[in-house]
Amino acid sequence: MANLGLGTVQWGMRYGIANTQGIPSEADVGMILKQATAKGISMLDTAPAYGSAENVLGQCGVDRFNVVTKTPVFKTTVITAEQAALLDKTFKQSLARLECEHLYGLLIHHVDDLFIPGGERLIEVMLRLKADRLVEKIGASIYDSTQIDMLLNRYTIDLVQLPINVLDQRLIYDGRLQDLKAQSIEIHARSIFLQGLLVMEPDNLNPYFDPIKPLLKRFHQAATNQGMTCIHAAIAFVRDVPEIDTLILGVNDFSQLEECMAFYRNSANFNASGLACNDPSFLNPALWKLR
């Protein structure tokens, strides 16, 4: 069964189409972290791109957590020594903001940066940071099987973060999760609720999602038929994927953490047969065209 970790993007910026609460206060984040520690949660996922998240975490204190952060997104066609130096500088700024001497993980935020000319420079910097014991594991945040194949063919890594949920089962069915585990790579699953899309009322969604509205309604009905809420079903499904090491959840307040923890600890399984979607335009929020 996968361990539980917390995502922090919603603590530093407004995030998720289902988020009506905005950004929680530093005091609320501190309460969430305190309760997470008490419940045995030890993993946090953050990034410099997540607004003020790293600063908030540093102020609250994260010495009891394994923290994974990310690199900048390099908007360029070639990686030069300048970008490599920026990666090093940005990581050390993250250490300062988080008030940590070292971190558990560092991920390439935009994995395609590794595949453009000079991409190996980024890995070289990350390997040096690892050798200097400033970070324990290095890897990348990925979206699809093509990126996994390219990553495994070119580099040796320790950790990946990837999307898995009841609609997005692509990496389960195509065997890429097994490929990653065959190389002893740690897998963190994100997008459990697909930015909240899975738990919203289908009839109230943006018209962009009309093509998958019947599928979303089937998911809601399947959860009801199996005696679960949509949140419970979404958590149970990913928790039970055998290759997943850590399930990353985003919560905005203490009550959400309590609810998610209760569902996570409930032993009931969710059967998501027939609920998979293979269209990236709905599975990748970066491709959503909302009006």
Torsion of CA 73, 76, 77, 78, to 10 degrees: -80
In CATH, what class is 3-286? alpha beta
* Residue 16 confidence class, pLDDT cut points 50, 70, 90: low
CB under 8 Å to 188, separation ≥6 — which residues? 5, 43, 45, 68, 159, 160, 161, 162, 244, 245, 246, 247, 248
Mean pLDDT along residues 164-183: 96
pTM here is 0.95
pLDDT in tens, 179-235: 999 999 999 999 999 999 999 999 999 999 999 999 999 999 999 999 999 999 999
Q: Which sequence spans correspond to the domains of the chain?
A: 3-286
Mean pLDDT along residues 266-281: 95
- Annotate 100-165 with DSSP letters as a single string: -S-EEEEEESSGGGGTSTTTHHHHHHHHHHHHTTSEEEEEEE--SHHHHHHHHHH---SEEEEE--
pLDDT in tens, 246-256: 999 999 988 99
Q: What pLDDT does 130 receive?
A: 98
Residue 22 pLDDT greater than 80, yes or no: no
Q: What pLDDT does 15 receive?
A: 65
Residue 24 pLDDT greater than 70, yes or no: yes
Cα torsion 278, 280, 284, 288: sign: negative
